[in-house]
């Protein structure tokens, strides 16, 4: 199980969702699929067609920026981070 940390402005879109979850998956793609299974609709908020991680979303595994294929080991910490953007 991965230790998944979600940003506040994301969980605000899904009332009742905690910012920290334990989710299964051996890659970032599988962890995000588990997240969507737990909280339907998360896939569309984090991934665009391709599928690809949205342009202004970054995922880190144990402190290193990750792609969908990046391996996730049991106990890994997966951070989902909205980029600093806007105006």
Partner 1 sequence: MTRVLLMVGTKKGAFLLESDEARRDWRVRGPFCDGFEIRDVSYDPADGAIYAAATSPWFGPAVFRSPDLGETWTHSSEGLTYGDDGPKLTRVWSLTPGHGALYAGVEPAGLFRSDDHGASWRHVEGLRRHPSTPNWMPGNGGLILHTIVPQPDDPQRMWVGASSVGVFETTDGGETWAARNHGVRQDYNPGPPAEVGSCVHKFALAAGTEQTLFQQNHCGVYRSDDGGANWQEITGSLPTDFGFVMGAHPRDPRTAWVIPLTTPEHGRLTPDAKAAVWRTRDGGGSWQRLANGLPQENAWLSVLREAMGVDSMERPGVYFGAQSGQLFASADEGDTWREIASYLPQIASVDVAVLAD
Please tell me whether residue 82 binds partner 1 under the rule CB under 8 A.
Answer: yes
Q: Torsion-angle region of residue 18: left (phi > 0), alpha (psi -120 to 50) or beta?
A: beta
Q: Binding string, 1-40, against partner 1, x = CB under 8 A?
A: --------xx-xx---------------------------
Q: Binding string, 37-56, against partner 1, x = CB under 8 A?
A: ----x--xxx-xxxx--x-x
CB of 3 to partner 1, least distance (A): 22
CB of 46 to partner 1, least distance (A): 7
Give the pair of three-digit tokens for residue 85.
Answer: 């953007």
Ordered DSSP codes for 27-83: BHHHHHHHHHHHSTTHHHHHEETTTEE-TTEEEEETTEEE-TT-B--TT-EEEEEE-
CB of 74 to partner 1, least distance (A): 28
């Amino acid at each position: 199980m991965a230790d998944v940390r979600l940003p506040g402005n994301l969980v605000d879109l899904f009332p009742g969702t905690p910012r920290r979850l334990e989710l299964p998956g051996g890659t970032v793609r599988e962890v995000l699929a588990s997240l969507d299974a737990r909280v339907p609709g998360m896939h569309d908020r984090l991934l665009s067609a391709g599928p690809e991680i949205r342009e202004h979303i970054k995922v880190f595994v144990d402190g290193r920026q990750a792609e969908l294929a990046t391996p996730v080991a049991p106990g890994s910490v997966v951070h989902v981070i909205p980029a600093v953007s806007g105006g």
